[in-house]
A and B are shown apart, each in its own frame.
Chain A
Amino acid sequence: MKTRKRILPLSLVQTGSVLANDLLGPGGTTLLTAGCEISDDTLKSLGRRGIELLAILENDTRSAEDIASQQIAAGERLRLLFRHTRGNDLLLDLHAVVAQYRQDSLA
């Protein structure tokens, strides 16, 4: 099964989710390793440690066509949002950076 990484606030992580990256504590020690399954006790323990966000792996059931159409829709939405930015180089740069981010996160 294909997966993709997603960053979520702890409050929206469901038990049974799979951790995408090693989770390091303040001193650089490994608290959890990538690939481990998140249990309810793990969530509680992370909450007590002040962890607010987790990178988890989600099953990706989208077809190649689904992905392509999502990427096209994202590009169109960005063009609409950035429709009044002509002549501002910084906003053109931001448009390009967000477009790349969207394409990568949807791939």
Chain B
Amino acid sequence: MSKELADDLVKRLARLPALPAVVQDILTSLDDEEMHADTFIHRVNTDPVLVARILATANSAVYGRTTPVASLKEALPLLGMNQLRQLILVTSLMQAFDKQGGAGFDRKNYWSHSFAVATCARTIAQWANENADTAYSAGLLHDIGHLLLSTVEPEKVALVYQDMETEQCSMIDAERTIMGIDHAELGLHMARHWQLPSALTEAIGLHHEPDKIDSPAALTDIVHVAEVLACALDLGTLPNSSVPPLSPMSFARLGLHWPSLARRFPEIEARFLSAAHFLED
């Protein structure tokens, strides 16, 4: 509809709340096995509300304790650094964006879909011998542009949903018609604004169009296929959801084979159930 609205949306990014520092730390250190846990935990400990929420979730997930886990330092050997990092990432993202989203924004559904894609992305990454934690984080953040749109243009997002229903078109097509920009492109701008790692930025921006990449990137392919798989398994979907288009190139680049991957469907569904912990108030 209007290039002006699209440009305006991008400009308004600068006025958004900054990404929490701890999220920046995690996302820029996903490939860093040597990251110092003490420095990291010290940083998180400066936010007592965040720590309380992390510990509440950790205590519901960790068995083998007669007394609750009382500190992040105590949780570290029980959960391991990677799981603790993911727990902190999820909790801090949800805390940062708790108040985001317009009146019609379904926070639970948004995060449920993000968890579903993240869970599938992790399994696909393991299959393809890629970094599973990075894939999980990318899955978690892939629709961050949608969260932004729901925050700054709730009425237009409501029109998008209407258009999808009446025109039987995809969300991307409806967003482009109504706003001149789609959630993936807006997510790309947002990720650049936050200076996220380039592979993560590309995965957010091109997860619907992985073939637009100049040089193929595994992370973008993983998130693209993960969204298809999550929808096919009916995880984090809406009653009127439909499986999005799949790039045969992405599928081939990852060396996937549906019947073999199907052996891991029960595991994917169980891990998604586990992730649903985060959505319980």
Contacts and interface: CB of A to CB of B under 8 A. Distances in A.
B265 A53 contact: no
Interface residues of B, number: 36
B60 A11 contact: yes
Interface in B31-83: 60-65, 78, 80
B246 A91 contact: yes
Chain B interface, >50% SS class: helix
A58 to B, nearest CB: 13
A45 B262 CA distance: 30
Interface stretch (B181-189, B192-200, B270-278): B270-278
Given A81-B242, A101-B265, A12 B273 contact: yes
A80 B242 contact: yes
A90 B248 contact: yes
A7 B273 CA distance: 10
Interface in A1-28: 6-12
Chain A interface, >50% SS class: helix
A46 B265 CA distance: 22
Contacts, number: 90
B168 to A, nearest CB: 8
Contacts of B267: 7, 53
A82 B62 contact: no
B63 A43 contact: yes
Interface in A49-105: 50, 52-53, 77-78, 80-85, 88, 90-91, 93-95, 97-98, 100-101, 105
Given A11-B60, A44-B64, A47-B62, A83 B242 contact: yes
Interface of A: 6-12, 43-48, 50, 52-53, 77-78, 80-85, 88, 90-91, 93-95, 97-98, 100-101, 105
18 contacts: A7-B267, A9-B271, A9-B273, A11-B60, A11-B274, A44-B63, A44-B64, A47-B63, A52-B274, A77-B234, A78-B232, A84-B243, A88-B248, A90-B251, A90-B258, A94-B229, A98-B232, A98-B262
Given A53-B270, A90-B258, 18 more contacts: A6-B266, A9-B271, A11-B60, A11-B61, A11-B274, A53-B271, A77-B234, A78-B234, A81-B231, A81-B237, A81-B242, A81-B243, A82-B232, A91-B228, A91-B245, A94-B232, A98-B232, A98-B233
In the A-B complex, list the 4 residue pairs whose CB atoms are closest, starting with the nearest: A47-B63, A9-B274, A44-B64, A48-B64
